[in-house]
Amino acid sequence: MRTKTFTIELKKRLAIEFKKQDRSGVYGFTQRLMAYNSNKIEGSTLTQKQTASIFETGTLYADDTNTVFKTKDIEEMNGHFKMFNYTLQHIDESLSEEIIKQMHRSLKEGVFEDMANGYAVGEYKKRANRVSDIVTTLPSEVPDKMQTLLQDYHAKEDITLGDIAMFHACFENIHPFQDGNTTIGHQLKTA
């Protein structure tokens, strides 16, 4: 029961700080840390300090004059902030395909490289993809697999940490989007 109380209080605190755009508390800390770690896993070259600077001031500084920034890193960092805000706005709603797709749209709609490559932004993938040597779900099978994943998840009476971990693992194996699945999957663990 203490976990449930903590979760309720945390959601309240996040909502208050988000509404005020108070970046000095739990909301700001969570935004910076989740964005940095999730994007780092995806290969971002931005540091924690640079991530914080983008979030807090909308600026990016160079450690030295030879620093080169990948545009995609900056665009995805900004998209992550936007996606987290979207998640907070819908935190009390039941997780759905539409929410997941909108999370992806929030993350990716400003990423030029993805648009130039013809990736479906805010929609399920149109081309097969792989993660290292793992073959993921074929594009034609994604809608059914996602519906089943969500139905099974919502059928549970009490969601445990194990259930959340299993949902995340299944989501990653389906890999419903062309790019950004790991970032969406991390965010889903908090949704």
Find out whether 10 and 2 touch, Cβ atoms under 8 Å.
no
pLDDT of res. 158 = 86
Domain that holds residue 101: 2-188
pLDDT of res. 190 = 62
DSSP H helical segments within the chain, as ranges?
A: 2-20, 26-41, 48-57, 71-89, 97-108, 112-116, 142-154, 161-174, 181-188
CATH number at residue 183: 1.10.3290.10
pLDDT of res. 80 = 95
pLDDT digits (tens), the chain, 191 positions: 577 788 889 999 999 999 999 999 999 999 999 999 988 988 899 999 999 999 999 998 877 767 888 999 999 999 999 999 999 999 989 999 999 999 999 999 999 999 899 999 999 999 998 888 888 999 999 999 999 999 999 999 888 889 989 999 999 999 999 998 888 988 886 66
pTM: 0.90
List all residues 6 or more positions away from 134 whose beta carbon is below 8 Å from its beta carbon.
173
pLDDT of res. 161 = 85
pLDDT of res. 26 = 95
> Per the structure, how many domains does the chain have?
1
Q: How many other C-beta atoms are found inside a 10 Å radius of the C-beta of residue 190?
A: 14
pLDDT of res. 52 = 94
pLDDT of res. 191 = 61
Q: How many other C-beta atoms are found inside a 10 Å radius of the C-beta of residue 133?
A: 5
pLDDT of res. 134 = 82
